[in-house]
Amino acid sequence: MPFFRGSLRRNFITPVRFQLAFLSLLAFGLIVGCSSDTRPDPTSTPIPTQEPIPTAAVKPVELTVDELLSSIERSMEELRGIEKPPPVDHRFVDQAGMREKLAEQLEDPETLEQIDHEEVLFKLLGVIPQDADLNAIYDSMFGSQVLGLYDPEKEEFFVLGDDSSGAESIDTEAQLTYAHEYVHRLQDAKFDLEVLKDLADNDDMSLAISAIIEGDATSAQSQYMLANYDFLELSELLETTLARQEELPDIPHFLEQSLQFAYSDGVAFMSVILQLGEFAAVDAVFAKPPSSTEQILHPEKYLDKEEPIELDIPDDGIQLSGWNIQAENVMGEFFLRTWLEAIGSVDAVEAAAGWGGDVYTVVESQETGEPGLVMTTAWDTAEDAKEFFTVLSEAMESNPKYVPAGRGIPGVLESWWGPGGYLVMSRWSSEGVDRVVIGHGSSVEIAQQLEMAGAYEFSDETEITVLD
């Protein structure tokens, strides 16, 4: 995905939406902490003992920009245990400057092609309006709502802020953003972020790797923040951030949650890792990154080395005759959970938790040019597969945008009509692995044809059984 899963995600961006959620949590923690004379840490890890670094509110008037930034850099180097890397270009820019940097990414031909494929997928699944322009949504999301950006390819980073009047013009928000982006610089120098991202062989793993990168930077940023800013400063920052909430554009739930995943779930994952061995344990995660968002959502599965089940949808079978393959990838537990939430499920977290693996293919009819979707999901147990199937069906049953499109077999084979067309889903068992297979097309017949293409992932030699 351009921002949270794919090519634009190669740059590391700090959004206002994350800052708002993070500061809200922090404010709650500070209020609770003040009642017990303790200073809490949202990551539940000890704050290293260190001398407070001067901040905008307490620094001497004569402090220069270089002195202020150097003090932030020294603090982050100490927190992360990474030696000072060679200097890179860093600049404070206004919103127009930040928008210009992001526009360079959104206008890249490879990114534009990827956005086109995503738009088709998201509309088939009903997570964005059928008349939506996904490129315009991304432009709205990022154009005026990004606080910082680190580009590992060019080894440069940008912070939304003003340093034209000296250190006193760099406010608390800009200082904290600088600290966050500087951690990315440290990560890049030690682990090579481009090489790290290239380890991902699918979108789900790419998002998981983004989560450890952003979770690490956010954990270090929070420790720096709590060690060097007082309650009044952080309260003022929260108040300012809340005031900016009205400026945030309305975006579909699916995209909003996807935007925040690398930060919120990334820092939750890192909190577990930090408890095991502080930042030395974090370094070990960079050496062996998670292979799925399942491992981010359930750190114990990362620690137990529970790997996803690899699946494939044959592109040479009769079921896909007459279709062109447009895209093939892995959705992952987080994607499926957020899809369920987007269509109204209140049991999405539990239903997606038994994910074992998946593969999907976006296709295009050679005759009409109409899009279609084939999706095969594998589950840890038969009960997990049944639960996902049931929760998905119940979400459609309660959503007025979906109506049943056939009698089928409840809990085993069902079809629905809704945004994006017709959806046929079935539940199968093969070689001890339980699957839910989905086909999506412009008619029930086409959706069933595509659903069978997903079922035949098992191959002609494998005995398959429709569950009852």
User: Which one has a higher pLDDT value, 314 or 38?
Assistant: 314
Phi, psi of 328 (to 5 degrees): -140, 130
What is the distance between the alpha carbons of residues 461 and 127, in angstroms, rounded to a whole number? 36
- pLDDT tens profile 161-175: 999 888 989 999 999
Identity of the amino acid at 8 = L
pLDDT at 234: 82
Average pLDDT over residues 459-468: 44
Given a cut of 70, is residue 329 above it in pLDDT? yes
Q: Is the pLDDT of residue 377 over 50?
A: yes
Q: How confident is the model at residue 60 (pLDDT cuts 50, 70, 90)?
A: very low
pLDDT higher than threshold 90 for residue 281: yes
pLDDT at 429: 83
Do the Cβ atoms of 88 and 157 come closer than 8 Å?
yes
What pLDDT score does 389 carry?
97
How far is it, in rounded angstroms, from Cα 377 to Cα 384?
11
300: Cβ contacts below 8 Å, ≥ 6 apart = none
pLDDT at 317: 64
Where does 318-466 sit in CATH, by number? Answer: 3.40.1000
Counting every residue written for the chain, the total comes to 468
Does 283 score more than 90 pLDDT?
Answer: yes
Residues 6+ apart with CB under 8 A from 120: 326, 362, 371
Confidence at 350, pLDDT banded by 50, 70, 90: very high
Do residues 286 and 183 make contact, with C-beta atoms less than 8 angstroms apart? Answer: no
Quick check: 431 pLDDT over 80? no
Q: What is the pLDDT of residue 231?
A: 84
pLDDT: is 418 or 232 the higher one? 418
Predicted confidence band of residue 17 (pLDDT cuts 50, 70, 90): low
Task: Please state at what angle helix 65-80 crosses helix 172-191, rounded to 10 degrees.
Answer: 50
Torsion (CA) 201, 205, 206, 211 in degrees, nearest 10: -160
- Contact indicator for 440, 405 with CB cutoff of 8 Å: no
- Mean pLDDT for 385-389 is 96
Is the pLDDT at 58 greater than 60, yes or no?
no
Orientation angle between helical segments 332-342 and 203-228, nearest 10 degrees: 80
What was the pLDDT predicted at 21? 53
Cα angle: 62, vertex 150, 205; to 5 degrees: 145
User: Which pLDDT tens digit goes with each residue over 177-187?
Assistant: 999 999 999 99
β-bridge mates for residue 436, sequence order:
377, 427
Looking at the chain, the domain(s) classified CATH 3.40.1000 span: 318-466
Task: Spell out the residues 6+ positions from residue 165 whose beta carbon is closer than 8 angstroms to its own.
Answer: none
Higher pLDDT, 18 or 153: 153
Q: What is the mean pLDDT of the chain?
A: 85
Residue 380, SS3 per DSSP: coil
Q: Is the pTM of this model over 0.95?
A: no
Looking up tokens 């979108």 gives 203
Please report which confidence band the pLDDT of residue 158 belongs to, taking 50, 70 and 90 as the band edges: very high
Q: Where residue 235 falls among pLDDT bands split at 50, 70, 90? A: confident
Which is more confidently placed, 100 or 193? 193
